[in-house]
Chain A
């Protein structure tokens, strides 16, 4: 592999890591600052990606859309749909023990996956949804395009980081932290815990959807396979826990580190004996699972530690 190839590889890597850091920031709002356990990140990530694909994609006979609309319209639509989804899942669960949000969000992620798998008219079914355009693609040639898109993604990461940072330092954010530490105390202070949790759940999910939307442009083609629990949910949890829950820099750092580990091991397992090589993806998943167990045992606060 020559230098420009390696650099190109790095750009692709960083774009994916960038999209994941957005999702990881979203999870940080929910879990890191409010203590909400969302085990169904895939639902919001996938919703964001698919809505983006349908809104901005080229017209297709196979599925709904594409409407060929601007990227910004797509992102806003993705945010709205995912906010509604979060609201629906919040109603039955946020008054109850935290486990129920976990279980129900896991359920909604599975249901979303069933919908994108079964409803060919909507999302292309197992054939997937293609022809997702490259934003700003007409500005530069295909060779340098990845760098332009990387710049765009990193800018979005920066904006979201800045906004989340502002939000969690605001009085509203302090209430979230109070809820995370002790719900009873927050309630005793006269705060409507349910309302705050709902707002946090929605905010986080909307951010995840933005991550999904930019992920959609990166891959250019979506299929239900990309939103299996491992790639849609687990890996993002591993990212946040690695970087440090309750720390926005950590959320981003964790995404790059875990995605780096993932890409590296993927690269590495290709050299396994041929019998095992076909199962490399599984071994990689086992590795992520073990990494996570070690993390919560040895360093539950992550690399950077929370606030």
Chain B
């Protein structure tokens, strides 16, 4: 049961990243390999606000009851969303847009973003060092819930915030004109242009929202586990898997895909471990958690490619 809960926590973090990736993939027609880097950057931006910026203003030290952090974390999350979005929009304007304007194909853009991820990852290593960081040194008490569920208060916060952001994003996409235009552009970019939708503006909004959500995902992962330079890279396959399972540009699909990947990674690991143990194969499955997302993705691709024939 607890594996499922862990899966849901991981799934909500992946979901925040996957929604943004799904939108940018559909609207810009390229797979952004630097989306994992948005999570990474988000986590470290949050860290900077929390441990550099706020203490200098003499604003630190409080904690919410039960949680390992205080209201400063809320500021850190908002700051991280803003900073990450601005950086990523700037990268789009100065790196990807000139390539797009020149008519470079989606794969050249994908490759450019892959190298962008490499650069950002090493920038993080250069600035913050290769070792891990934590937002807080406090030890969280695990609470017992019915059905044998064990969670820390922080984890409840993570799931709660993820749900809140998903609802807000959905409302934005449904109710506002820009949100509808984003859906329209992801549905049919050519028609969007003919209709008079300012697609460049839509692109900027999409980057902003997509990367800001990814930034939150990064902070939440930092709260739940830790901050390390490779975290963005390790999220890349789960993110792609979620988007591919859910179908590019499909909001609920990305959500369902993320939950599938999250639960599969957390539940699948012990399940396979038991299976291998029972047939006496000595293998440690915990090391293969990231590969589970990949295997899921390959299965979906297989099904799709036989649909193509």
A93-B301, A96-B304, A283-B126 known; A111 vs B294 contact (CB < 8 Å): yes
Chain B residue, CB-CB nearest to A283? B126
Is A296 in contact with B287, judged by CB distance below 8 angstroms? Answer: no
SS class of chain A's interface: helix, strand, loop or mixed? helix
Please classify how large the interface on chain B is, using the bins under 10, 10 to 19, 20 to 34, 35 or more.
35 or more
Give the chain B neighbours of A289 by CB distance below 8 A.
115-116, 118-119, 122
Is A91 in contact with B302, judged by CB distance below 8 angstroms? Answer: yes
Is A286 in contact with B123, judged by CB distance below 8 angstroms? Answer: yes
Number of residues of chain A lying within 8 A (CB) of chain B = 42
Give the chain B neighbours of A103 by CB distance below 8 A.
31, 237, 240, 244, 297
Q: Is B236 an interface residue (CB 8 A)?
A: yes
Q: Is A136 an interface residue (CB 8 A)?
A: no
Chain B residue, CB-CB nearest to A36? B107
Is A102 in contact with B301, judged by CB distance below 8 angstroms? Answer: no
A92-B305, A114-B287, A293-B112 known; A98 vs B118 contact (CB < 8 Å): no
Q: Is A149 an interface residue (CB 8 A)?
A: no
Is B291 in contact with A114, judged by CB distance below 8 angstroms? Answer: yes
Q: Is A151 an interface residue (CB 8 A)?
A: no
Is B284 in contact with A92, judged by CB distance below 8 angstroms? Answer: no
Q: Is B156 an interface residue (CB 8 A)?
A: no
Is A111 in contact with B291, judged by CB distance below 8 angstroms? Answer: yes
Give the chain A neighbours of B114 by CB distance below 8 A.
39, 234
CB contact between A286 and one of B95, B126, B244, B288 (< 8 Å): that residue: B126
Q: Is B309 an interface residue (CB 8 A)?
A: yes
SS class of chain B's interface: helix, strand, loop or mixed? helix
In the assembly, what is the distance between CA of A111 and CA of B241, in Å?
14
Give the chain B neighbours of A229 by CB distance below 8 A.
118, 233
Q: Is A181 an interface residue (CB 8 A)?
A: no
A293-B95, A296-B99, A296-B112 known; A107 vs B298 contact (CB < 8 Å): yes
Give the chain B neighbours of A111 by CB distance below 8 A.
288, 291, 294
CB contact between A102 and one of B110, B130, B302 (< 8 Å): that residue: B110
Is B302 in contact with A296, judged by CB distance below 8 angstroms? Answer: no
In the assembly, what is the distance between CA of A83 and CA of B63, in Å?
56
B258 to chain A, nearest CB (A): 16
Q: Is A285 an interface residue (CB 8 A)?
A: yes
A86 to chain B, nearest CB (A): 14
| Cβ < 8 Å to A, chain B residues 65-88 | none
Is A285 in contact with B99, judged by CB distance below 8 angstroms? Answer: no
Q: Is B270 an interface residue (CB 8 A)?
A: no
In the assembly, what is the distance between CA of A111 and CA of B308, in Å?
27
12 A-B pairs within 8 Å (CB atoms) are namely A37-B111, A91-B302, A91-B305, A99-B30, A99-B107, A100-B244, A102-B31, A234-B118, A279-B126, A285-B121, A289-B118, A300-B108
Contacts A114-B291, A290-B119 given; 13 further ones with Cβ under 8 A? A37-B110, A92-B305, A96-B304, A111-B294, A229-B233, A279-B125, A279-B126, A289-B116, A292-B112, A292-B115, A293-B95, A293-B115, A296-B104
Using CB atoms and an 8 Å cutoff, list the residues of chain A in contact with chain B.
37, 39, 91-96, 98-100, 102-104, 106-108, 110-111, 114, 117-119, 121, 229-230, 234, 237, 276, 279, 282-283, 285-286, 288-290, 292-293, 296-297, 300
The 6 A-B residue pairs whose C-beta atoms are closest, nearest first, are A289-B119, A107-B294, A118-B287, A95-B305, A92-B301, A282-B122
Using CB atoms and an 8 Å cutoff, list the residues of chain B in contact with chain A.
30-31, 33, 95, 98-99, 104, 106-108, 110-112, 114-116, 118-119, 121-123, 125-126, 129-130, 233, 236-237, 240, 244, 282-284, 287-288, 290-291, 294, 297-299, 301-302, 304-305, 308-309
